[in-house]
């Protein structure tokens, strides 16, 4: 298991590297994160860095109804193919950045704690085995929604609009590579709102596994390095009051914290 982060150092320079969980040191790398990055002799104390979103996706593919427990609660049949929407890259923010309420919207804003899949190589029309090899790692996601916009127009459900605002895709704090200490099958997503637990669900309740998601979605669109698939959420979604903090935690990845700006 390798832990990758993107950061801004004290001089304002943006870089990326690997975090040693025991020493708390970050080794800066050269090149591209997804194309044979090279370690340098530069290292930092993690506490001296500002964490950024761990990747810069060209798109975020966000799933809906991908957990059996939520499917049963909603009285919906499990889908035969991932149900998804696309979130734009400008919606992405990193750890400790503020979620901003759209100026034109005064309704409820909801959190959704999720696992995120980070794509490491270009993939199109892939088998499940090829899709698994294209997964670079995993991160935490808070898939934010302007919930009252969804059904504002009775003729068309506005999924992309309600979830696509700037700052409505929180990613981080790191990307953890699969294997050697991280197995999504034994992990859970825990979401807290101002320190109170609101979600705690096992990832092995997924309808489509990560590799299945990548494979099926790659037949609908080409996925490129840095793209993120938000795997969908389960029971416990709720609204965020202005000034409230949402923490999304997955053991082995870390905790993603963001506040809805007052």
Query: Residue 262's pLDDT is what?
Result: 81
Distance between CA 256 and CA 189 in Å, rounded? 11
Which pLDDT band holds residue 208 (cuts at 50, 70, 90)? very high
215 token code pair: 């494979």
Residues 25, 86 share a domain: no
Name the nearest CA neighbour of 174 among 118, 233, 225, 121: 118
The CATH number that applies at residue 237 is 3.90.850.10
Residues 202, 235 share a domain: yes
5 token code pair: 């982060």
Q: Mean of the pLDDT values across residues 223-251?
A: 98
Residues 121, 62 share a domain: yes
Residues 218, 149 share a domain: yes
Work out the percent of the chain whose per-residue pLDDT is above 70: 100
pLDDT at 181 > cutoff 80:
no
- The residue segments making up the domain with residue 12 are 1-51
pTM above threshold 0.75: yes
Residues 22, 99 share a domain: no
Query: Residue 1's pLDDT is what?
Result: 78
Query: Residue 179's pLDDT is what?
Result: 79
Residues 130, 223 share a domain: yes
Residues 141, 25 share a domain: no
Q: Mean of the pLDDT values across residues 5-31?
A: 97
Distance between CA 75 and CA 70 in Å, rounded? 8
The CATH number that applies at residue 11 is 2.30.30
Distance between CA 244 and CA 109 in Å, rounded? 11
Q: Mean of the pLDDT values across residues 139-155?
A: 98
Residues 65, 36 share a domain: no
pLDDT at 204 > cutoff 80:
yes
Distance between CA 42 and CA 15 in Å, rounded? 11
Please tell me the total count of domains within the chain.
2
How do residues 41-77 score in pLDDT, each as one tens digit?
Answer: 999 999 999 999 999 999 999 999 999 999 999 999 9
């Amino acid at each position: 298991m390798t832990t990758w982060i993107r950061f801004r150092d004290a001089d304002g320079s943006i870089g990326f590297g690997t975090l040693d969980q025991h020493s708390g040191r970050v080794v800066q790398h050269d090149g591209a994160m997804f194309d044979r990055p090279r370690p340098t002799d530069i290292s930092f104390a993690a506490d001296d860095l500002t964490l950024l979103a761990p990747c810069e996706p060209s798109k975020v593919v966000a799933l809906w109804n991908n957990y059996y427990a939520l499917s049963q609660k909603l009285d919906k049949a499990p889908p035969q193919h991932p149900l998804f929407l696309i979130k734009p890259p400008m919606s992405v923010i990193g750890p400790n950045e503020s979620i901003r309420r759209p100026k034109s919207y005064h309704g409820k804003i909801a959190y959704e704690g999720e696992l995120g899949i980070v794509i490491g190589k270009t993939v199109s029309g892939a088998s499940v085995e090829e899709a698994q090899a294209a997964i670079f790692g995993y991160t935490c996601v808070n898939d934010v929604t302007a919930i009252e916009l969804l059904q504002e127009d009775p003729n068309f459900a506005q999924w992309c609009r309600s979830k696509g605002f700037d700052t409505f895709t929180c990613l981080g704090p790191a990307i953890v590579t699969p294997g050697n200490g991280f197995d999504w099958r034994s992990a859970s997503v825990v979401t807290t709102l101002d320190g109170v637990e609101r979600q705690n669900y096992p990832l092995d309740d997924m309808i489509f596994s990560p590799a299945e998601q990548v494979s099926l979605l790659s037949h609908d669109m080409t996925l490129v390095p840095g793209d993120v698939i938000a795997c969908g959420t389960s029971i416990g979604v709720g609204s965020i009051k202005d000034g409230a903090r949402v923490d999304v935690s997955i053991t082995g990845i870390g905790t993603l914290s963001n506040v809805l700006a007052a």
